[in-house]
Amino acid sequence: MSGLLEPTLYVIKGIAILDNDGNRLLAKYYDPSVFPTVKEEKKFEKNLFQKTHRANAEVIMLDRLTCVYRSNVDLFFYVMGLSHENELILVSVLSCLYDAVSAILRKNVEKRTLLDNLDIIMLALDEICDGGVPLETDPQVVTQRVSLRMEESPFNDQTVTQQVRQKLETTTGAVLQSAREQLKWSLLK
């Protein structure tokens, strides 16, 4: 019975979002034994895209991996696990990813909008899966958590340059006020 695999929480081996040319927009691989280098990851992604970009199926077996996928406009979403993994778990992670991205992008799921909001999408990906372990499959929960984390971020609506400029103006104003006070008191003495 040594041929049986022990159950594990590390179900997800990788998640990728590719554009309609097969180029990587966002990818996370959780098991370095499957793809030890970025070169191997990209080679796999190109092969995966070639096999899926014209297909109507939702699942494919490729290089010992079960890959579930979904496309929309100019994006392809992929979730990968080992060949013995439960496809329903992979599909639930894929559905959560797609629906969360759709909610975050206000149903405008296309390459340009995704790239403009890549930081938020990366947060969502981290909320869905951590180290290959699916954490959340409810897209509403993921969207709420991401929005809360974005509200807590000190960089919400301001760029770093805007924040530095604002801090500099505040500091400069305080220094000038202090200099005025010192000059006033030195003249009064």
Residue 123 maps to a domain: yes
171 falls in which pLDDT band (50, 70, 90)? low
Residue in 154, 134, 117, 137 with CA at minimum distance from that of residue 81: 134
Residues, the chain, total?
189
Taking only the tens place, the pLDDT of each residue in 10-21 is: 889 999 999 999
Q: Would you say 17 and 25 are in contact if contact means Cβ atoms under 8 Å apart?
A: yes
Q: Is the pLDDT of residue 75 over 80?
A: yes
Q: What's the CATH number where 71 sits?
A: 3.30.450.60
- Computed on alpha carbons and rounded to an integer, the radius of gyration of the chain in Å comes to 24
Q: Would you say 112 and 19 are in contact if contact means Cβ atoms under 8 Å apart?
A: no
Q: How many domains does the chain have?
A: 2
Q: Would you say 124 and 100 are in contact if contact means Cβ atoms under 8 Å apart?
A: yes
Which phi and psi (to 5°) does residue 14 adopt? -170, 155
CA distances from 53 to 25, 79, 97 (A): 15, 15, 19
The pTM of the full predicted model, rounded to 2 decimals, is 0.76
Same structural domain for residues 26 and 97?
yes
Same structural domain for residues 36 and 110?
yes
> 126: domain range?
12-152
pLDDT at 1: 45
Same structural domain for residues 148 and 160?
no
Q: Is the pLDDT of residue 103 over 80?
A: yes
Same structural domain for residues 123 and 165?
no
Same structural domain for residues 97 and 140?
yes
Residue 18 maps to a domain: yes
Taking only the tens place, the pLDDT of each residue in 145-159 is: 888 777 665 555 555
The average confidence (pLDDT) of the chain is 85
141 falls in which pLDDT band (50, 70, 90)? very high
